[in-house]
Amino acid sequence: MRGDRVTSWVFGGALLALALRAPGLAAQVTLEEAADRARQLWLAHDVSGLVSGSDTIRLQLPGAGFASALGPAQAARLLDRYLETAREIGFELKGVRLAASDHGYAEGRRRYAVQGTSEEREETVYVGFRQVGGKWRLREVRIVP
């Protein structure tokens, strides 16, 4: 993988087939696949699938500060609370970068509206991954308004 590669994401037959077979991030083989699967799970508000297979997750949510070393269940609850009042409009992956042979990051631009309103909002979402046993697992989520 090229470290500085910025990839445009399109729902293709191969990715859709992969997404239907894989219940969570742990089944992904490449960092790009893991990032796209995380994007799909985010859009569906499937936070259980997002954290599936992870041992600890660091979260940084607007207004909540930085929490470290959360278990998957606790991370899922906090993310679910954060997302519950939002209606997702889109989530575009802006880039995927390998930081080390077993660590990588994805940057996405989330567009959403608070339920009951039509005002569109945007925030940047950084998702960190760690490769364990050949599979990419979520390790960090940072949201920047």
Report if residue 89 sits inside a domain: yes
Report if residue 83 sits inside a domain: yes
- For residue 83, the surrounding DSSP H or E stretch is helix 72-83
Report if residue 52 sits inside a domain: yes
Are residues 19 and 33 in contact, defined by beta-carbon separation less than 8 angstroms?
A: no
Report if residue 35 sits inside a domain: yes
Report if residue 69 sits inside a domain: yes
Sheet of strand 135-144, all strands in order from the earlier edge strand to the far edge: 65-70, 57-61, 135-144, 120-132, 103-114, 86-100
The tally of domains found in the chain comes to 1
Q: What is the per-residue pLDDT for 65?
A: 72
CA distance 78 to 3: 31
Q: What's 120's domain CATH number?
A: 3.10.450.50
Q: What is the per-residue pLDDT for 26?
A: 53
Report if residue 108 sits inside a domain: yes
Q: Per-residue confidence of the chain (145 residues) as pLDDT tens digits?
A: 433 333 333 223 333 333 333 445 555 589 999 999 999 999 999 999 999 999 999 999 998 777 678 999 999 999 999 999 999 999 999 999 999 999 999 999 999 999 999 999 999 999 999 999 899 999 999 999 8
CA distance 83 to 52: 17
Domain coverage including residue 68? 13-144
Q: What is the pTM for the complete model shown?
A: 0.78
Report if residue 29 sits inside a domain: yes
Report if residue 28 sits inside a domain: yes
